[in-house]
Amino acid sequence: MQPPDSIPDSIPDSILVRVVEEPVKSTTIVDVLLGSLGLVGALLLAALVLGAILGGALIGIKLFRARYNLESAPDSESLRITPQ
């Protein structure tokens, strides 16, 4: 048996890890402007796509009603309003 105060013969190798943080990149006015222009461009593109879809749907409904004679009576005829 070894005495309790003695150092063991085999000492495991130690591994030292040094954590190095990356430098913080500061935000400049150019970064803000480019980000805002990108956001405006994305919103503009979304508005154009949704507008085209809605416009196409309205035109399609109008053509469908005209093809199958599903036009509703104009308000002036249903209220029997006549020009004088």
pLDDT digits (tens, 9 = 90+) for 7-56: 556 666 778 888 888 888 888 999 999 999 999 999 999 999 999 999 99
Q: 14: which 2 tokens? A: 């130690």
pTM of the model: 0.55
3-state SS, residue 14:
coil
- Residue 2 CA to residue 59 CA, distance in Å, equals 95
Question: Does 3 score more than 60 pLDDT?
Answer: no
Judged against a pLDDT cut of 90, whether residue 2 lies above it is answered with: no
